[in-house]
């Protein structure tokens, strides 16, 4: 199975090395099942360096699973996942360690360490893996918490703040190392419209920084409008629409029209 | 037929625990960096179990004193009851009671806590942030339990002897000075690397091993947790069950090792 899929790889890709220079993340006919439940069914997708790509799709279709492959939390059953020139199925532990230092990941539920305060959570990557002094760390934590509109929140525990706040703390933690490659799993789910829009602008600003690549899962059209360079629709573990944001929103693919809640006629 | 899945599962967890043990060993030099975590664990967990250890060992000492006292009284030897209580508490009951209490309270909490982290993506978050979860979560807890167990055991030994003394006086008519003199006399023989009574020393060695066993098993079960709240429940149950089994088996081997000649 694996071999058959590998052999089908396009010849131009083979001749130009594993992945072209300008591709940051490549999914190549990726299959993934949990037990008998097939989730990814031959997903192929390139994310160009510097691009902000939005992933949309019905609930349970494998968007989070896709994102987890890109950071090595899951490994595909067959097909290839390439991230920054690394074959994720064969990456060594030190390579993965270094690659992840260049990446940021916002978990769908925030995934804050429940026995550490908000500030300690945001500071964690710097405290563990950098030589910054405590005052520099504090400075940076304050900066990032301000960015996500959590100025006054500092010593609260994760259990004491709302779901939307957890999400934003998670975002601050993902941004604090100033990563080059950021994966956002529903950054604006559960936020009020005002904060949601300002988070969209924040993501757009971050991705406008030179060379930063973003993958964003969202259910919100407002996020597509503000953030996206390109949008793909995932359904049943495959890409079914891949377009620029304007084309995407006006695309006449029946599955997409149904997904966006507008019947074709 | 039913027994085989149980055994393969058992072998698999034993493997996971063995690996975890060596991973923790390899990170002991992180203790200075993690000392805040270690002391938080020590203080937090120690505080929660101390009163349980005091109560249970006190009553256990009473039972011990009464049971052996009645047998000794048949031979007119009830004056010796202090010796029996002191030696039994120091060698066996103190470390054992402490370990069982630790596994039921601290160990189960460890498994649940780490299991919850596993199912709520917190462990994945640590992985993504390139934070070593063994050094960050497991090692401080293992070290804290290894340090805590002998301290609690000393409390247990003391309370057990005191509890036995109450019964000796009220039920067996052995005077307090006689009881305590004989109890202390029996622990006079010194041994080991430091100048503590040999029986106490052996017991403390045991309790450190028990503390490590409880911590490793509970953390390993927590790390393996999958599948939401049900999985956390499973991990907790397995952690306590396996810890108690392991304590009983390991106890035999340490006893054999310490007292073989
Ligand atoms: N670790 C896992 N073990 C078993 N099944 C899993 C696991 N992770 C995901 N799944 C299954 O894979 C499917 C896709 O999950 P995924 O979380 O990627 O959905 P999603 O597209 O992100 O949906 P949503 O929009 O609701 O977040 C789901 O049916 C889920 O049950
Ligand atoms: Mg999801």
Q: What is the pLDDT of residues B27-50, one digit of tens each?
A: 999 999 999 999 999 998 888 899
In the stretch 149-188 of chain A, residues with CB closer than 8 A to chain B read 173
For B124, name the nearest residue in chain A, comparing CA atoms only: A73
**Is the minimum distance from the CB of A191 to ligand 1 under 6 angstroms?**
no
Q: Please provide residue A187's backbone torsions phi and psi, each rounded to the nearest 5 degrees.
A: -65, -25
**Contact between chains at B130 and A101 (C-beta distance less than 8 A):** yes
| SS3 annotation, A55-119 | EECCCCCCHHHHHHHHCCCCCCCEEEEEECCEECCCCCHHHHHHHHHCEEEECCCCCCCCCCCHH
pLDDT-derived band at A9, boundaries 50, 70, 90: very low
Residue with tokens 């081997």: B253
**Is the minimum distance from the CB of A65 to ligand 1 under 6 angstroms?**
yes
Interface A-B, measured as beta-carbon pairs within 8 A, has a size of 49
d(CA B250, CA B240): 15
List the shell of residues around ion ligand 2, using CB closer than 5 Å.
Answer: A 64, 108
CA angle, A101 then A27 then A15, to 5°: 100
Tell me the whole-structure pTM to 2 decimals. Answer: 0.88
CB < 8 Å to A105, chain B: 125, 128
Cβ(B102)–Cβ(B214) below 8 Å = yes
> What's the CA-to-centroid distance between A65 and ligand 2, angstroms?
7
Task: Please give the pLDDT value at position B190.
Answer: 65
Q: Which helix (H) or strand (E) holds A239?
A: strand A238-243
Task: Please give the pLDDT value at position B2.
Answer: 61
State the nearest Cα–Cα gap between A131 and chain B, in angstroms.
Answer: 14
Task: Please give the pLDDT value at position A263.
Answer: 54
Task: Please give the pLDDT value at position A7.
Answer: 45
> Which structure tokens are listed for A226?
């503000």
Give the bridge partners for A242, in sequence order: A232
Q: Pick A114's closest partner by Cβ from B122, B126, B130.
A: B122
* DSSP string of B187-206, one letter each residue: T--EETTTTEEHHHHHHHHH
> What's the CA-to-centroid distance between A59 and ligand 1, angstroms?
8
d(CA A30, CA A238): 9
Specify the 3-state DSSP secondary structure of A48: strand
pLDDT-derived band at B219, boundaries 50, 70, 90: very high
A73 touches chain B (CB under 8 A): yes
Q: Which helix (H) or strand (E) holds A3?
A: helix A2-7
d(CA B138, CA B26): 12
Structure confidence by residue, pLDDT tens digits, B200-209:
888 999 999 9
| Residue of B30, B122, B126, B144 for testing the chain A interface, max A β-carbons within 10 Å | B122
Q: Which helix (H) or strand (E) holds B25?
A: helix B3-25
Q: Please provide residue B30's backbone torsions phi and psi, each rounded to the nearest 5 degrees.
A: -85, 0
Task: Please give the pLDDT value at position B261.
Answer: 59
Structure confidence by residue, pLDDT tens digits, B173-202:
999 999 999 888 888 766 555 666 778 888
Task: Please give the pLDDT value at position A152.
Answer: 86
Q: Which helix (H) or strand (E) holds A215?
A: strand A213-217
d(CA A234, CA A56): 6
Q: Is the pLDDT of residue B167 over 70?
A: yes
CB < 8 Å to A108, chain B: 121
Give the bridge partners for A215, in sequence order: A53, A183
The neighbour count for residue B26, using CB atoms within 10 Å, is: 12
Mean pLDDT of B120-138: 94
Q: Which atom of ligand 1 is nearest to the CA of A219?
A: 25
Q: Is the pLDDT of residue A217 over 90?
A: yes
Return the DSSP state at B32.
T
**Is the minimum distance from the CB of A59 to ligand 1 under 6 angstroms?**
yes
**Measured on CA atoms in the order A105, A111, A112, A115, is the torsion positive or negative?**
negative
CB < 8 Å to B113, chain A: 115
| Residue of B121, B226, B228 for testing the chain A interface, max A β-carbons within 10 Å | B121
Task: Please give the pLDDT value at position B236.
Answer: 96
Q: Specify the range with the lowest mean pLDDT, choosing from A4-8, A161-165, B107-111.
A: A4-8
Specify the 3-state DSSP secondary structure of A219: coil
Mean pLDDT of A220-230: 92
B228 touches chain A (CB under 8 A): no
Q: In what order do the strands lie in the sheet with A78-83?
A: A37-48, A23-34, A78-83, A86-87
Q: Is the pLDDT of residue A17 over 70?
A: no
Structure confidence by residue, pLDDT tens digits, A22-64:
899 999 999 999 999 999 999 999 999 999 999 999 999 999 9
- Terminal-to-terminal C-alpha distance of chain A: 42
Task: Please give the pLDDT value at position B202.
Answer: 86
Cβ(A145)–Cβ(A120) below 8 Å = no
d(CA B82, CA B178): 8
Any long-range contacts for A74-77 (C-beta under 8 Å, 24+ apart)? Answer: A74/A32, A76/A30, A76/A31, A76/A32, A76/A40, A77/A2, A77/A31, A77/A32, A77/A33
Return the DSSP state at A253.
-
CB < 8 Å to A65, chain B: none
CB < 8 Å to A69, chain B: none
**Contact between chains at A109 and B121 (C-beta distance less than 8 A):** yes
> Which structure tokens are listed for A109?
């539920």
Cβ(A24)–Cβ(A229) below 8 Å = no
């Amino acid at each position: 199975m694996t071999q058959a899929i590998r052999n089908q790889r396009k010849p131009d890709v083979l001749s130009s090395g594993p992945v072209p220079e300008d591709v940051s993340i490549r999914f190549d006919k990726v299959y993934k099942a949990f037990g008998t439940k097939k989730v990814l069914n031959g997903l192929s997708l390139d994310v160009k360096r510097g691009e902000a790509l939005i992933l949309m799709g019905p609930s349970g279709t494998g968007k989070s699973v896709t994102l987890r492959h890109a950071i090595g939390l899951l490994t595909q059953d067959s097909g290839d996942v390439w991230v920054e020139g690394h074959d994720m199925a064969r990456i060594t532990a030190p390579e993965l360690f270094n690659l992840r230092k260049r990446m940021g990941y916002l978990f769908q539920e925030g995934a804050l360490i429940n026995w550490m305060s908000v500030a300690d959570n945001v500071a964690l990557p710097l405290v563990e893996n950098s030589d910054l002094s405590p005052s520099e760390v504090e400075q940076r934590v304050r900066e990032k918490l301000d960015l996500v509109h959590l100025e006054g929140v500092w010593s609260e525990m994760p259990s004491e703040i709302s779901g939307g706040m957890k999400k934003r703390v998670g975002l601050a933690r993902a941004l604090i190392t100033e990563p080059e490659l950021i994966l956002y799993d529903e950054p604006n789910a559960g936020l009020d419209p005002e904060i949601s829009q300002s988070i969209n602008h924040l993501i757009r600003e971050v991705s406008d920084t030179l060379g930063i690549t973003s993958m964003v899962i969202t259910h919100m059209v407002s996020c597509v409008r503000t953030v996206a360079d390109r949008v793909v629709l995932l359904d049943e573990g495959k890409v079914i629409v891949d377009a620029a944001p304007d084309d995407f929103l006006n695309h006449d693919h029946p599955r997409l029209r149904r997904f966006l809640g507008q019947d074709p006629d | 037929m039913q027994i085989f899945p149980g055994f393969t599962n058992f072998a698999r967890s034993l493997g996971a625990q063995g690996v975890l043990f060596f991973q923790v060993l390899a990170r002991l030099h992180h203790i200075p960096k993690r000392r805040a975590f270690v002391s938080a664990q020590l203080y937090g967990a120690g505080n929660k179990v101390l009163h349980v250890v005091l109560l249970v060992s006190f009553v256990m000492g009473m039972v011990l004193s009464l049971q052996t006292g009645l047998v000794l009284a048949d031979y007119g030897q009830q004056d010796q009851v202090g010796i029996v209580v002191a030696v039994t508490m120091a060698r066996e009951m103190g470390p054992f009671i402490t370990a069982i209490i630790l596994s039921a309270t601290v160990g189960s909490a460890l498994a649940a806590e780490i299991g919850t982290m596993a199912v709520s993506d917190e462990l994945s978050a640590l992985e993504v942030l390139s934070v070593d979860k063994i050094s960050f979560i497991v090692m401080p807890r293992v070290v804290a339990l290894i340090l805590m167990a002998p301290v609690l055991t000393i409390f247990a030994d003391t309370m057990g002897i005191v509890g036995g003394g109450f019964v000796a006086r009220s039920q067996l008519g052995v005077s307090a000075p006689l009881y305590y003199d004989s109890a202390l006399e029996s622990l006079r023989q010194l041994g080991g690397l430091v100048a503590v009574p040999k029986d106490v020393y052996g017991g403390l060695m045991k309790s450190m091993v028990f503390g490590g066993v409880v911590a490793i098993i509970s953390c390993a079960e927590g790390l393996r947790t999958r599948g939401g709240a049900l999985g956390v429940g499973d991990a907790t149950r397995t952690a306590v069950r396996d810890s108690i089994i392991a304590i009983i088996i390991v106890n035999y081997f340490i006893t054999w090792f310490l007292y073989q000649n």
